[in-house]
Structure 1
Amino acid sequence: MTKQKIVIRVPMNNQKLRNKAMAIAVGVSGVEGTTIKGDNKDQIEVTGEEIDSVKLASLLRKKFGYADLVSIEAVGKTEEKKDKEKAEAIVAWPYVYSSVPHYPVYEIKNEPSCSIM
């Protein structure tokens, strides 16, 4: 399983609101740790495995009225992604324009009326 790092912006003006936000975030299944970030300490960073970011944001919206998902990142498997990108080669097939084949058309003029002769 891959670890995720989710950053959510929530209006937290005092320490009491920050503690409530952290308590809500820790209550979601899969969360391993939370930290408060940002210049105004209005962002909460949540790390863990298989975290439902929509559920977490909706729980924070119920309590605070506003929660904005800033970023969701996968942590740890960056080396494998680089290897996969190098391994994949882009193949560009050339365009082939072929013309319609020409078939000969024969006309018989002065067709005889009796075909037995």
Structure 2
Amino acid sequence: MQQKVVIELKIKCSKCRSKALKIVAVQNGITKFGFEPENRNRMVIIGDGIIDAAGLALSLRKKLGYADLVSVEEVEEES
């Protein structure tokens, strides 16, 4: 089972974007992450098992000032 989490951020500069990516990269169970191409303020995170989405949003909020949890859903695993 994989889980997809979408978090809305307020990215002001490339340093903030880099900081957000570093915070997500060190979390356990995350396999893919990045920003949506059409909305550069939305981060999409995909991980194996259950991701602590609320804890992740809280960590981003502490470092960046704003992070809103948009959605959490199950996705089918790619083969």
TM-score interval w.r.t. the shorter chain?
A: 0.7 to 0.9
Give the greater-gyration-radius structure (CA).
1
Is 2:74 the partner of 1:74? yes
> Hey, what's the Cα distance between the residues in 2 that align with 1:74 and 1:57?
18
| Residue in structure 2 matched with residue 53 of structure 1 by the alignment | 53
Partners of 1:8 and 1:32 in 2: CA distance: 16
CA distance in 2, matches of 1:46, 1:71: 10
Higher RCO (CA-CA < 8 Å; seq separation 6+): 2
**CA drift at 1:40:** 4.6
Residue by residue over 1:57-94, the C-alpha shift from the partner in whole angstroms, topping out at 9 and shown as x without a partner, is: 010010011110111110117xxxxxxxxxxxxxxxxx
Query: In 1, Cα distance between the equivalents of 2:39 and 2:31?
Result: 24
The aligned amino acid for 1:29 is N
Equivalent residue number for residue 62 of structure 1: 62
Matches within 5 A, 1:13-24: 13-24=12-23
Q: What 5-or-longer segments of structure 2 have no aligned partner?
A: none
CA distance in 2, matches of 1:40, 1:54: 21
| Structure 1 outlier segments of 4+, above 4 Å | none
User: What CA RMSD, in Å, does the superposition of the two structures yield over aligned residues?
Assistant: 1.5
Gaps (5+ residues) in structure 1? 78-117
Deviation at 1:35, TM superposition (A): 1.0
Superimposed CA distance per residue, residues 11-55 of structure 1 (whole angstroms, 9 cap, x where no aligned partner): 112221111101101111111111111645111111002211011
More strand as a share of residues? 2
